[in-house]
Amino acid sequence: MKSIIVLCFILTGLSNLNAQSTPTTTDTNKIFTIVQQPAKFPGDINKWLSENMTYPEAASKMAIEGTVYITFVVDTDGSVTNIKVLRGVDDVLDKEAIRVITKMPKWTPGMANGNKVKQFFTVPLQFKIRNSGKSSLTSAPKFPFELNTWLSGQIRYPAKALKKKIEGDVYVMFIVHDDGSVSDVRIAKGIDNGTSLENEAIRIVSGMPNWTPAYQDGKPVAVQLTLTLKFRLPSGPSKDGEPVKH
């Protein structure tokens, strides 16, 4: 029996962020998060989302799942505008989340002091794969060496990070394909705004040797992994381009 891919999501509530004061009649262009009468979706929003969202085939094949946080503004005419990814998971899931929010019908706009106002919302959409029958992952991908030892030998602490005394954990997402090769390396969560340490993490993961691929139903399959690289300032002298010493 083939696995059944089921789209699941949790609408934990339209999150109001950064509370602001009650609007006045002159606040026609201001975007608020808390108003006297919040904007209202026309019907059951959970049901509507479940009927309109689909799990992207590319994401299901590679077992990519997670929660995409979308922000948007309900305008004074009820239209949904300014749709953005606040925190994403993967490009294909992020695009599907944006596509669905873009399709939303008009809301009843928020009201304050008898006036229609613009209101800001955040919606978390959870994508999760559920397997049915015997179609489960029978073996996870395996790195050809002891992973932590290999990683520690590859890290070269960037001079910029050393100078600024930046340290912390960088989370890197990547795909191990059915031939064991690594691709689509990207930062899931960084610590220094897309520069030195994050670039070093991408360099290391991109240079990985082939893994033993994961297997499903006796066949090699592609899977997405997330790896945590721990950058800690060296205890002894270290130069840019040299291995970190702890």
Which of 108-117, 186-195, 232-241 bottoms out in mean pLDDT, i.e. has the lowest?
232-241
pLDDT band at 223 (very low <50, low <70, confident <90, very high): confident
* Mean pLDDT for all residues in the chain: 78
Which of 59-63, 82-86, 99-103, 147-151 bottoms out in mean pLDDT, i.e. has the lowest?
59-63
Position 34 pLDDT exceeds 70: yes
pLDDT score at 72: 93
Position 1 pLDDT exceeds 70: no
Alpha helices (H) in the chain, listed in sequence order:
45-52, 57-61, 91-102, 147-154, 159-164, 196-206
Position 132 pLDDT exceeds 70: no
- The predicted-structure confidence for 138-147, as pLDDT tens digits, reads as follows 677 889 988 8
- Distance of alpha carbon 85 from the chain centroid: 9
pLDDT score at 29: 77
Residue 89 · residue 66 · CB < 8 Å: yes
Residue ranges of E strands in 88-221: 110-112, 115-127, 137-139, 168-176, 182-189, 214-216, 219-221
**pTM of the predicted protein model:** 0.54
pLDDT score at 192: 64
pLDDT band at 204 (very low <50, low <70, confident <90, very high): very high
Which of 35-49, 158-172, 186-200 bottoms out in mean pLDDT, i.e. has the lowest?
186-200
What's phi and psi for 79, nearest 5 deg? -75, 150
Q: Closest Cα partner for 141 from 216, 61, 58?
A: 216
Position 84 pLDDT exceeds 90: yes
Residue 37 · residue 112 · CB < 8 Å: yes
Tokens of 97: 């989340």
Position 245 pLDDT exceeds 50: no
Percent of all residues in the chain with a pLDDT value above 90, rounded to a whole number? 24
Domains identified in the chain and CATH numbers: 31-127 (3.30.1150.10), 137-231 (3.30.1150.10)
pLDDT score at 10: 36
Position 105 pLDDT exceeds 90: yes
pLDDT band at 209 (very low <50, low <70, confident <90, very high): very high
Position 205 pLDDT exceeds 70: yes
Alpha helices (H) in 26-136, listed in sequence order:
45-52, 57-61, 91-102
Position 164 pLDDT exceeds 60: yes
pLDDT score at 196: 86
